[in-house]
């Protein structure tokens, strides 16, 4: 949304031979510079494609947007229902089943965000209330960001929830840009200890030398034995990608994709875990447990919490993401069972708009499925009409995903041997036909054998 102004100044007018001035008021017109939803194009596989040499299916999709793409999703019904199968993200982080909290800080009105509310995109409802921190629409690493002013009036608060306890496995992930290197430790976030100031569940600190410190467990605020540090100094006015991730045996801190296997100041690499029922604070400690110099002076963009440890590969992939307005992505589904499937792709932009391809595509997997003889009939079929030397016509409906290669009519009578007759295909009726002529009285038997183009075969009596 933007403003367009028009200024009308006094205008000279000649009225009855007199020169007069007519003043017009300045006015403003508000217009919406609305962007369009992303457009999505399906590339491969082609519609009605048959996979009969591999059951690993690769899907290719292209998405374009006039602003910024956020993510591209693949939908299939491989698992029985048409649902999201894979996701690829651009720049901003995306949620998964382990995401406890996810914030983009874009002040997205479609999601209900404003200057006082930050939406939790994880789906867990951990929205943040903003106190004093201000939105910068172009100051983020990817889009917008919120700026904290380094005082006790600039912070955010998230109500307690079991989803943000992050114990015993967890990850804190964010982008940060400090306005200055602090003279004393400042809190990026903190799962508050409440009035005791002695039982922090976890906190992430921007230290006075410009490093990162992670506190886990008992006495974290006041310098207990479970403090983990990344001590390489960072610079002011520069975006840094920061990840603190842990499990029951190790803690790793990453800054700009460089890892540091952290050991606590007590020499113990194993974290200590506690949980509490207090708020999660951003840009500050718990306001009831304040100490001088603890308030963040800088910007945060993209904050995610996970209830698991991120792998080095995931950290690297997140760090190397970039903003895109046009992108092609491939997704691969392994070991897809034989069957008939539908697929499509859906793209999202950073304005909460989305777009599908115009229609679903269909594909088939046929690695082992034999042809199906859906029906067969003979004519004549009445005992009184069948005499020796009367021709018997056999008609069958046979289908296969990969295509029927050969259909054979096999007939025999008890004292004879099997005779094979290749069946012809009638394109108009889509039926296979063959005939045989019994030469003697007796009980004659027949069946149909068919195989497909990948060698699977079936019979029907």
Alpha carbons 449 and 423: distance in angstroms, whole number: 10
Alpha carbons 85 and 102: distance in angstroms, whole number: 20
pLDDT bracket for residue 276 (50, 70, 90):
confident
Number of helices (H), then strands (E), belonging to the chain: the values are: 1, 37
Distances (CA, A) of 48 to 42, 81, 160, 162: 13, 19, 50, 46
Residue 6 pLDDT greater than 60, yes or no? no
Q: Is position 116 within any domain?
A: yes
Residue 63: burial class (beta carbons within 10 Å; 0-12, 13-18, 19+) = buried
Q: Is position 277 within any domain?
A: yes
Average pLDDT, the chain: 86
Shared domain for 216 and 308, answered yes or no, is yes
Shared domain for 125 and 274, answered yes or no, is yes
pLDDT bracket for residue 289 (50, 70, 90):
low
Shared domain for 190 and 301, answered yes or no, is yes
Shared domain for 204 and 307, answered yes or no, is yes
Shared domain for 128 and 261, answered yes or no, is yes
Shared domain for 293 and 384, answered yes or no, is no
Q: Is position 58 within any domain?
A: no
Shared domain for 96 and 217, answered yes or no, is yes
Q: Is position 384 within any domain?
A: yes
What pLDDT digit, counting tens, does each position of 392-428 carry?
999 999 999 889 999 999 999 877 889 999 999 999 9
Q: Is pTM beyond 0.75 here?
A: no
Report pLDDT for 55.
95
Q: Is position 350 within any domain?
A: no
Number of compact structural domains in the chain: 3
Bridge partner residues of 343 (DSSP): 76, 361
Q: Is position 59 within any domain?
A: no
User: Percentage of the chain surpassing pLDDT 90?
Assistant: 61
Alpha carbons 328 and 350: distance in angstroms, whole number: 17
CATH label of the domain that carries residue 380: 2.60.40.10
What pLDDT digit, counting tens, does each position of 343-380 carry?
999 999 888 899 999 999 999 999 999 999 999 999 99
Shared domain for 381 and 315, answered yes or no, is no
Report pLDDT for 21.
38
What pLDDT digit, counting tens, does each position of 323-346 carry?
889 999 999 999 999 999 999 999
Shared domain for 288 and 144, answered yes or no, is yes
Q: Is position 367 within any domain?
A: no
Shared domain for 270 and 163, answered yes or no, is yes
316: Cα within 13 Å, side-chain hemisphere: 5
pLDDT bracket for residue 17 (50, 70, 90):
very low
- Highest mean pLDDT (candidates 107-111, 387-391, 430-434): 430-434
CATH label of the domain that carries residue 118: 2.60.120.200
Alpha carbons 328 and 286: distance in angstroms, whole number: 45
Q: Is position 304 within any domain?
A: yes
CA torsion 282-288-291-293 (nearest 10°) is 30
Domain that holds residue 295: 91-319
Shared domain for 426 and 300, answered yes or no, is no
């Amino acid at each position: 949304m933007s403003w367009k102004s028009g200024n009308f100044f006094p205008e000279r007018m000649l009225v009855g031979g007199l020169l007069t001035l007519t003043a017009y008021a300045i006015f403003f017109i508000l217009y919406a510079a609305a962007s369009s939803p992303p457009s999505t194009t399906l590339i491969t596989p082609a519609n009605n494609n048959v996979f009969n040499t591999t059951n690993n299916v690769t899907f290719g999709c292209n998405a374009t947007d006039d602003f910024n793409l956020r993510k591209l999703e693949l939908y299939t019904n491989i698992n029985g229902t048409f649902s999201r199968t894979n996701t690829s993200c651009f720049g901003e982080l995306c949620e998964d089943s382990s995401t406890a909290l996810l914030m983009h800080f874009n002040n997205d009105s479609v999601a209900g965000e404003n200057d006082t509310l930050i939406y939790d995109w994880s789906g867990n409802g951990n929205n943040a209330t903003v106190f004093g921190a201000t939105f910068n629409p172009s100051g983020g690493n990817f889009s917008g960001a919120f700026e904290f002013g380094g005082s006790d009036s600039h912070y955010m608060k998230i109500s307690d929830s079991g989803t943000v306890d992050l114990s015993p496995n967890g990850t804190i992930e964010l982008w940060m840009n400090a306005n200055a290197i602090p003279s004393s430790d400042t809190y990026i976030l903190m799962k508050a200890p409440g009035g005791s100031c002695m039982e922090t569940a976890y906190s992430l600190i921007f230290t006075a030398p410009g490093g990162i410190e992670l506190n886990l467990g008992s006495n974290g605020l006041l310098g207990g034995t479970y403090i983990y540090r990344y001590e390489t100094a960072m610079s002011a006015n520069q975006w840094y990608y920061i990840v603190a991730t842990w499990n029951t045996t190790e803690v790793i801190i990453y800054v700009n994709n460089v890892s540091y296997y952290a050991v606590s100041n007590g020499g113990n690499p194993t974290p200590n875990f506690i949980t509490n029922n207090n708020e999660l604070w951003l840009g500050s400690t718990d306001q009831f447990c304040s100490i001088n110099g603890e308030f963040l002076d800088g910007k945060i963009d993209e904050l995610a919490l996970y209830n698991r440890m991120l792998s080095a590969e995931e950290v690297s992939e997140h760090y190397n993401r970039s903003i895109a307005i046009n992108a092609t992505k491939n997704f691969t589904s392994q070991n897809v069972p034989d069957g008939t499937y539908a697929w499509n792709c859906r793209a999202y932009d950073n304005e909460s708009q989305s777009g599908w391809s115009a229609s679903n595509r269909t594909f088939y997997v046929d690695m082992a499925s034999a042809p199906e003889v859906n029906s067969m009939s003979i004519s004549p079929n009445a005992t009184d009409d069948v005499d020796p030397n009367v021709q018997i016509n056999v008609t069958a409906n046979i289908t296969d995903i990969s295509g029927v290669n050969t259909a054979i009519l096999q007939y025999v009578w008890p004292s004879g041997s099997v005779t094979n007759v290749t069946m012809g295909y009638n394109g108009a009726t889509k039926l296979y036909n063959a005939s045989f002529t019994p030469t003697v009285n007796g009980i004659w038997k027949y069946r149909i054998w068919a195989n497909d183009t990948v060698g699977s075969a079936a019979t029907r009596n």
